[in-house]
């Protein structure tokens, strides 16, 4: 079976062709994966402007889909998988309406996909079926969540962020330091040249009023807003210490040290939670997916911790880390094989809950 995937939930218009194979080591093969990024448009505004995003998706979608089909040899496809949510509703609507129209006119079925199911299945696209149970950390600009995957297509949420997502924290800290949008790649690059112990930043630990009840729901949750505030406070103090005027950029060596220290704390917070949850869940593998999984230190430290714990660690290729349609095609195929079908009346949903499509139907898990 050949699937056309379509993704327009945020600032990337993407289409991909993915083929199914009867092979657990590599159940899906990416034939094409075209991404039209809108970063240059939103950069001028310091973040994503939803209305501009939706309008640009409309301009790009036809060409992106045509290109994905052509790159895969122009062969017909048997199924269309499209992101239904979560994301920016105007942007989601472009992809979903386009996918429904195409499915209707071509006479092929379509299946709506949850964006995070796409990120989770990007791991399988890259590394083959994961040894189960697995624990997967999804870290993106909009989400920071931990899932237990007890069976293929089943996602049980163990934790999520209470405030900012990790990618959002990167973007906000970059903005504060005058580094532009998106913040992840530039902080990652500067961090490599800084001293990661130079700035003392706190690692947030969420505790319950009853500290002896770690099994209470939410004990695996994350919080990044305190870290962001500490960075902001440090910048103000440092400016004062250097007698710089308000709003002046910090000297480059200070910025590099701050980026390195911030990155060390974010990565340690994420990986402590991932590996604690993996131990508790008796996981046979762990995965890190989503835009922030492109982070060089997160990838390196995850692999090192996995090696020390004797656990296989899956991370997607860089092209499958940030938003793309190949992962949506993969998750769509998984859902289709478990019986999911799109209805013509289905609507985009900015806060769609994640519903499992597997042998042991479970959910919803937001
Ligand atoms: O998954 P994604 O492409 O879009 C969402 O679903 O949100 O993730 C985008 C996020 C942005 O916040 C961006 O700053 C972050 O991923 N990101 C990174 C890196 N590359 C992208 N964060 C840290 N290090 C990176 N190298
Ligand atoms: Zn994403």
Q: Mind spelling out the 3-state secondary structure of 45-98?
A: CCCCCHHHHHHHHHHHHHHHHHHHHHHCCCCCCCEEEEEEECCCHHHHHHHHHH
SS3 content of the chain, % helix, strand, coil (to 5): 45, 20, 40
- Which chain residues have CB less than 5 Å from ligand 2, an ion? 140, 323
CA 39 / ligand 1 centre spacing (Å): 12
Residue 360 has pLDDT above 50, yes or no: no
The answer to whether 251 and 257 are in contact (CB under 8 A) is no
End-to-end CA distance of the chain: 29
Distance in angstroms (rounded) separating the CA atoms of residues 338 and 260: 44
The confidence score (pLDDT) of residue 208 equals 56
CA distance 207 to 272: 15
pLDDT band for position 362 (50/70/90)?
very low
291 lines ligand 1 (CB under 6 A): yes
CB-CB contact of 3 with 79 (8 Å): yes
Q: 36-40, 338-342, 351-355, 360-364: lowest mean pLDDT where?
A: 360-364
Structure tokens at 222: 């994350």
User: Ligand 2 center to residue 72 CA distance, Å?
Assistant: 23
Mean pLDDT check: name the lowest of 156-170, 227-241, 349-363. Answer: 349-363
Q: Whose CA is nearest to atom 2 of ligand 1?
A: 291
141 lines ligand 1 (CB under 6 A): yes
366 pLDDT band, cuts 50/70/90, is: very low
Residue 307's pLDDT is 98
121, 184, 298: residue to mutate for ligand 1 pocket, most atoms within 8 A of CB: 184
290 in contact with ligand 1, CB cutoff 6 A: yes
Q: Is 11 in the pocket of ligand 1 (CB under 6 A)?
A: no
Pocket test for ligand 1, best of 140, 299, 321 (most atoms within 8 A of CB): 140
Decide: 350 and 143 in contact? Cβ < 8 Å.
no
Looking up tokens 């189960």, which residue turns up? 132
**Mean pLDDT value across the chain:** 93
**pTM for the full model?**
0.94
Find residue 285's DSSP bridge partners. 134
- 46 and 4 Cβ atoms separated by less than 8 Å: no
29: helix, coil or strand? strand
Is the per-residue pLDDT at 323 higher than 90? Answer: yes
Query: How far is residue 121's CA from residue 134's CA, in Å, rounded to a whole number?
Result: 12
Q: State percent of the chain over pLDDT 70.
A: 94
The pLDDT of residue 355 is 87
Q: Is 294 in the pocket of ligand 1 (CB under 6 A)?
A: yes
Q: What are the pLDDT digits (tens) for 258-293?
A: 999 999 999 999 999 999 999 999 999 999 999 999
pLDDT in tens, 87-105: 999 999 999 999 999 999 9
User: Which-ligand-closest: CA of 88?
Assistant: 1
Distance from the CA of 140 to the center of ligand 1, in angstroms? Answer: 5
Write the residue with the smallest CA distance to atom 14 of ligand 1: 184
Burial class (CB in 10 A: 0-12, 13-18, 19+), 305: middle
Question: Is the pLDDT assigned to residue 246 strictly greater than 70?
Answer: yes
State the alpha helices, DSSP H only, in 217-339. Answer: 225-241, 252-281, 296-309, 318-321, 325-337
Predicted pLDDT at 215: 60
Render pLDDT for 184-219 as a digit per residue (tens, 0 to 9).
999 999 999 999 999 999 887 666 555 555 566 668
In this prediction, residues 173-189 reach a mean pLDDT of 95
Q: Give the closest ligand to the alpha carbon of residue 316.
A: 1
What is the C-alpha to C-alpha distance for residues 237 and 250, in angstroms, rounded to an integer? 11
**Long-range Cβ contact pairs of 226-233 (< 8 A, separation 24 or more):** 226/202, 227/169, 227/201, 227/202, 227/203, 227/262, 227/265, 227/266, 227/269, 228/164, 228/169, 228/172, 228/173, 228/176, 230/201, 230/202, 231/173, 231/176, 231/201, 231/258, 231/262, 232/176
| Strand 313-314 versus strand 285-289 pairing type | parallel
What percent of the chain shows pLDDT beyond 90? 87
Query: What's the rounded mean pLDDT across residues 309-324?
Result: 96
pLDDT at residue 318, rounded to an integer = 95
């Amino acid at each position: 079976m050949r699937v056309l995937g379509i993704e327009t939930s945020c600032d990337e218009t993407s289409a991909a062709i993915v083929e199914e194979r009867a092979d657990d080591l590599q159940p899906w093969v990416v034939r094409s994966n075209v991404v039209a990024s809108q970063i240059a448009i939103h950069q001028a505004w310091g973040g994503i402007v939803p209305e501009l995003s939706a309008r640009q998706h409309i301009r790009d979608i036809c060409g992106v889909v045509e290109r994905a089909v052509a790159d895969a040899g122009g062969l017909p496809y048997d199924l269309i998988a499209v992101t239904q949510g979560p994301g920016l509703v105007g942007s989601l609507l472009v992809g979903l309406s386009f996918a429904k129209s195409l499915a209707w006119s071509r006479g092929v079925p379509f299946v709506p996909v949850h964006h995070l199911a796409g990120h989770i299945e990007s791991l399988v696209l890259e590394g083959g079926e994961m040894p189960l149970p697995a624990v997967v950390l999804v870290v993106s600009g909009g989400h920071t969540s931990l899932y237990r995957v007890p069976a293929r297509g089943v996602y049980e949420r163990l934790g999520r962020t209470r405030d900012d997502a990790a990618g959002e924290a990167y973007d906000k800290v970059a903005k504060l330091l005058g580094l532009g949008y998106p913040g992840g790649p530039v902080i990652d690059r500067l961090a490599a040249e800084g001293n990661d112990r130079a700035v003392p930043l706190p690692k947030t630990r969420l505790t319950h009023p009853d500290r002896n009840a770690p099994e209470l729901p939410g004990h695996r949750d994350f919080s990044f807003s305190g870290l962001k505030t500490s960075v902001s406070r440090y910048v103000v103090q440092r400016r004062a210490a250097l007698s710089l005027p308000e709003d002046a950029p910090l000297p480059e060596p200070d910025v590099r040290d701050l980026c390195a220290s911030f990155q060390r704390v974010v990565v340690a917070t994420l990986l402590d939670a991932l590996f604690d949850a993996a131990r508790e869940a008796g996981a046979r593998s762990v995965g890190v997916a989503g835009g922030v999984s492109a982070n060089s230190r997160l990838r390196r430290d995850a692999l090192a911790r996995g090696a020390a714990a004797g656990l296989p660690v899956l991370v997607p290729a860089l092209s499958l880390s940030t938003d793309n349609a190949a992962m949506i095609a993969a998750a769509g195929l998984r859902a289709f094989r478990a019986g999911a079908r799109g209805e013509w009346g289905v609507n985009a949903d900015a806060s769609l809950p994640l519903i499992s499509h597997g042998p042991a139907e479970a959910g919803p898990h937001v």
